Amino acid sequence: MTEDGKKGLGEGTTTIFVCRDSLEGILCGVYDAWMSRLGHANVALELENQGNIRMFSQYRQVEETSEKTEKVISAICRKAGQEAYEMVFRVSLSREEEKADRIYRFLVYALNCKMSAKDMLQIPAVYEVFRIDRSVGNEAHLLKEFARFSKTREGIYVCTVKPKNDVIILMAPHFADRLRGENWVIFDQGRNKAIVHRADQGWIVVYTDTDRWKERLVESGDQKEFEQLWKVFHERVAIKERTNYVCQRGHLPLRFRPYMTEFGYRLGHD
Amino acid sequence: MLIQEQMSLQEKLAVLSDAAKYDVSCTSSGVDRKGKKGMLGNAVSAGLCHSFAADGRCISLLKILFTNQCVYDCCYCVNRRSNDVVRTAFTPDEVCTLTMEFYRRNYIEGLFLSSGILISPDYTMDLIYQTLRKLREECRFNGYIHVKAIPGADPVLIEHVGLLADRMSVNLELPTAEGLRSLAPAKSRPRILAPMRQIQRGIRTQRTEVIPCERGRQFVPAGQSTQMIVGATPENDYQMIKVAEALYQNYDLKRVFYSAFVRVNDDSRLPVLPGGPPLLREHRLYQADWLLRFYGFGADELLTEKQPHFNVFLDPKCDWALRHLELFPVEINRADYHTILRVPGIGVRSAKRIMAARRGAVLDFPDLKKLGVVLKRAVYFITCGGRMMYSLKIDQDFITSQLVGNEHKRTWDITNRDSYRQISMFDDGWMSPSPGAQDVEAAVLGQL
Ligand code: SF4
């Protein structure tokens, strides 16, 4: 039975729960789909604005409440463990359109599984989430390595990135620990979103637009000098007799380079 | 010797990074340290690679010499006394500025400071000590520091430096005492091993102390490493890995690095290697080194006095498996971890995943692919549920020809240098760490 009292349109009709592209949105979608009692095979989760309307499907907008979100989180942590929850969190940051439904399928398995569900990679529902998690995790990891900060006139360290997945939130704790005494910003150019950290105080996520942002990005006096020094070092440390650009590209994909000092990036000139 | 006093910081950096580049270790691994209020930096045990140079090697640390002046005349070294090159030295302040400013911009994980011998080992070690003290105490730098222990320096100085650094290294340079005598007469085996032993003792004593951090800082918390040059002297692969094994067992070394010999000096005592630096040999040594450290192999299993060279066409693990076909095939659903780890095509990560996943179900070949097993290599050595993937005869010649086919291109790539592509050594069991690539020890220990 559906909530509005009508019998479903028979076998083969899917009810699609449409959720916002965010952790909360997806978890509330999981809640609504699960609690609808339509049967896991008859429901699906989709993100908003996906465009491709499916025939013979009913669409329902997911309503977000913090209560639902918390209930789902606590169920995951209790039944599948903290690590499974962290996985779901990272998968929710992916750019893959099917991620909401993948999370749902994973939870259907994980919340009923007696074993550590996340290790059962032979199960397709687990493998898909593992795969997405790995690619989000890899990108976040590489950005911790390849992110470059430039110092502005106001003494703020600014880093611009354009990640495929929404990973700046995964970078934040790392830099908040090592650069704790600095004011810094990590700006996601594709999403107009930034992590802003204040010295010795912590960080927040802010939404902003590129133009307003750019006005403030004026280099500090010594920025150019250190950029130049870094380029000199980067060039000199290579052994000529072992030159190997293919190997270099394998480790450091070209897509990261537009934002890296040693490959020509300059603050405010992109 | 041309000593340049009036050089700009940029010119000094150019000279002193150029002079440091032949030291291959550039990892920032082995210690986890949280940030501290009022300080800059932390340390991540798996290590981070901030960039890759044009030679494909990882750049993790600001790798520089304090000075390239040197009173010694080691045959293979660009900085030897008899070479007519521009000489210069940093001041401690300059090293601190570079480290701090680079670190804040996320260019580096920290500093790797080495040096030519200026005046005497003690004098040089003291300069390094002054620099590190300034960096830690005045600049409040809490990131990673790797520093060279200078053979012949006063143990008291080494002790002090060790309390400021994360990792220390003393380069063995050449695997045998004869090699050392012929190419680096001023260095002797005992002189190199003495500081190594001292550092090992320092680390061990600290481990047994009740309150290890009583004095505030730990002694060389990321352990020590060393480097051997490959191909400058006639030692064979077997001798090299025997030495490496002994260093791991008797000196508790964290890493042994191998550096393909680059002929920087025209000197009749040095070999002329027509193919350039012996990169494939270096690569095989790294593979074997991983087998020693993470796969439970002993050096004598991989090579023997009668067969002292690695197979050019096969990596050491495949080579070993082919010589031990009587131990295969192994059953994926039953064999223990250590047996599975020895199967070609199965790495540390995939072996762990197999152990975890088979608790839930009987695994079959398609599942193994998802667990990261490289079936192309593994098929000849495993069964799933008692079955082999193809009905193959286990015959050494046949398997060899199959594996060599796979391997041939890779080998060709390495020797021809242009398309030497690295693969993750944990995902596919065939382990190909790039020289100086990050240690992924944390991953092996299951922290990932
Ligand atoms: S001691 Fe030998 S290897 Fe070291 S810098 Fe001097 S000449 Fe070079």
Query: What's the domain count of chain A?
Result: 2
Structure confidence at residue A90 (pLDDT): 96
List, in order of start, the domains of chain B with CATH numbers. 9-302 (3.20.20.70), 316-398 (no CATH)
- Is pTM beyond 0.80? Reply is yes
**For residue A76, is pLDDT > 60?**
yes
Residue from the list A180, A233, A252 with its beta carbon closest to the beta carbon of B62: A233
Structure confidence at residue B257 (pLDDT): 92
Structure confidence at residue B258 (pLDDT): 93
Structure confidence at residue A115 (pLDDT): 77
The reply to whether B418 touches chain A by the CB within 8 Å rule is: yes
* Final residue before a domain boundary, out of A105, A139, A173: A139
Residues 19-48 of B with CB under 8 A from A: 20-22, 34-35, 37-42, 48
Q: Are strands A57-61 and A14-19 parallel, antiparallel or unpaired?
A: parallel
Alpha helices by DSSP H, B305-374: 316-323, 337-341, 348-357, 365-370
Measured CA to CA, the distance from residue A243 to residue B52 in angstroms comes to 11
Measure in Å the smallest separation between the Cα of B251 and chain A Cα atoms: 30
Structural contact between residues B320 and B292, judged by C-beta atoms closer than 8 angstroms: no
- Do you know the residue count of chain A? 270
Give the pLDDT confidence of A11-36 residue by residue, as tens digits. Answer: 568 899 999 999 999 999 999 999 99
Smallest CA separation from ligand 1 atom 5, residue:
B116
Determine which of B85, B105, B272, B367 to mutate to test the interface with A (most A C-beta atoms within 10 Å).
Answer: B105
Residues 133-162 of B with CB under 8 A from A: 143
Do residue A154 and residue A171 come from a single domain?
A: yes
Sign of CA dihedral B314, B318, B321, B322: negative
Chain A CA closest to residue B47: A145
What b/e sequence results for A22-50 when a residue is b if at least 16 CB atoms lie within 10 Å of its CB, and e otherwise? bbbbbbbbbbbbbebebeeebbbbbbeee
Structure confidence at residue B189 (pLDDT): 87
Structural domain includes residue A6: no
Measured CA to CA, the distance from residue B223 to residue B417 in angstroms comes to 32
Structure confidence at residue A15 (pLDDT): 92
CA-based end-to-end distance of chain A = 55
Measured CA to CA, the distance from residue B329 to residue B385 in angstroms comes to 12
Ligand 1 contact, B69 CB (< 6 A) = no
* Final residue before a domain boundary, out of A82, A105, A139: A139
- Do you know the residue count of chain B? 448
Do residue A164 and residue A214 come from a single domain?
A: yes
The reply to whether B270 touches chain A by the CB within 8 Å rule is: no
Determine which of B51, B76, B108, B363 to mutate to test the interface with A (most A C-beta atoms within 10 Å).
Answer: B51
Give the pLDDT confidence of A111-132 residue by residue, as tens digits. Answer: 988 778 888 898 999 999 999 9
Measured CA to CA, the distance from residue A35 to residue A32 in angstroms comes to 5
Do residue A134 and residue A153 come from a single domain?
A: no
In sequence order, which residues have a C-beta less than 8 Å from that of residue A247 and are 6 or more positions away? B52, B55, B56, B420, B421, B422, B434
3-state secondary structure at position A170: helix
Prediction ipTM score: 0.90
Residues of B in contact with A245 (CB under 8 A): 54, 56
Alpha helices by DSSP H, chain A: 23-35, 66-79, 82-91, 99-110, 124-146, 168-178, 210-215, 223-236, 245-251
Residues 348-387 of B with CB under 8 A from A: 353, 356-357, 359-361, 363-364, 367, 370-371
Sign of CA dihedral B65, B68, B74, B78: positive
Do residue A117 and residue A161 come from a single domain?
A: no
Structure confidence at residue A32 (pLDDT): 96
Measured CA to CA, the distance from residue B423 to residue A250 in angstroms comes to 9
Do residue A24 and residue A125 come from a single domain?
A: yes
Structure confidence at residue A106 (pLDDT): 96
Structure confidence at residue B394 (pLDDT): 65
Structural domain includes residue A9: no
Structural domain includes residue A8: no
Do residue A169 and residue A99 come from a single domain?
A: no
The CA-atom distances, in angstroms, between B347 and each of A17, B176, B343 are 41, 32, 8
State the closest ligand 1 atom to the C-alpha of B116, by its place in the atom list counted from 1.
Answer: 5
Structural contact between residues A38 and A8, judged by C-beta atoms closer than 8 angstroms: yes
Do residue A89 and residue A154 come from a single domain?
A: no
- For residue A260, what are the domain limits? 147-269
Q: Per-residue confidence of chain B (448 residues) as pLDDT tens digits? A: 556 667 899 999 999 999 998 888 778 888 899 999 999 999 998 889 999 988 888 899 999 999 999 999 998 899 999 999 999 999 999 999 999 999 999 999 999 999 999 999 999 999 999 999 999 999 999 999 999 999 999 999 999 999 999 999 999 889 888 888 889 888 888 889 999 999 999 998 887 765 555 456 789 999 999 999 999 888 999 999 999 999 999 999 999 999 999 888 888 888 888 878 888 899 899 999 999 999 999 999 999 999 899 888 888 999 899 889 899 999 999 999 999 999 999 999 999 999 999 998 899 999 999 999 999 889 989 999 988 888 766 677 777 777 776 666 565 555 544 333 333 333 333 333 332 333 333 333 322 2
Best of B79, B124, B265 for a ligand 1 pocket test (most atoms within 8 Å of beta carbon): B79
Structural contact between residues B146 and B165, judged by C-beta atoms closer than 8 angstroms: yes
Do residue A53 and residue A103 come from a single domain?
A: yes
Average pLDDT over residues A243-248: 85
Structure confidence at residue A136 (pLDDT): 96
Mean pLDDT of chain A: 88
